Amino acid sequence: MDISIFTDKNRTPDEGSLADALKETYPYWVEIGDYVKSVYPAVIAEWNYPGPKYGWSFRMKDKKRVIIYLLPRDSYFKVAFVFGQKVYGKILESKVRNEIKNELSSAREYAEGRGIRIEVRGPEILPDIRLLIDIKVS
């Protein structure tokens, strides 16, 4: 089952427990967070606990929408985005790798848009994530 490594509702994750859980991927988590702050300085960053089925996740948002979700797992993490129709078209025309475009194209469409989750286990995916953040905040 795909659930956060942090499941205790009464214990909001802190930097130390996050670094321990993510191990070698922790610097990539920090890099993504720093990047969002650099392109969107007014971002609101917060831990969120939607329930025991999902556990704790971290989201970075503005007043109206979430820019990116960061989902901690055991020794890695996932980033999640939801893209509306207009932004979806921009992604298909972008230089984002084809695997991401294909996954987004096959994602179910909801009122708020199409969602995608991308595993972060190494630095090779970071340029695509930065590009998706740029498209999302543009």
pLDDT at position 1: 65
pLDDT at position 25: 98
pLDDT at position 64: 86
Model confidence pTM above 0.85: yes
- Sequence length of the chain is 138
Nearest to 120 by CA among 112, 129, 133, 108: 129
Supply the angle between the helices 85-92 and 98-106 in degrees, to the nearest 10.
150
Query: Over its length of 138 residues, how does the chain's per-residue pLDDT go in tens digits?
Result: 689 999 999 999 999 999 999 999 999 999 999 999 999 999 999 999 999 999 999 999 998 899 999 999 999 999 999 999 999 999 999 999 999 999 999 999 988 899 999 999 999 999 999 999 999 998
The domain spans of the chain are: 15-82+115-137
Please compute, for residue 132, the number of CA atoms within 13 A of its CA located in the half-sphere on the CB side.
26
What's phi and psi for 119, nearest 5 deg?
Answer: -75, 140
**What are the start-end ranges of the H helices in 1-138?**
15-22, 26-39, 85-92, 98-106, 126-137
Q: Helix (H, G, I), strand (E, B), or coil: what is residue 138?
A: coil
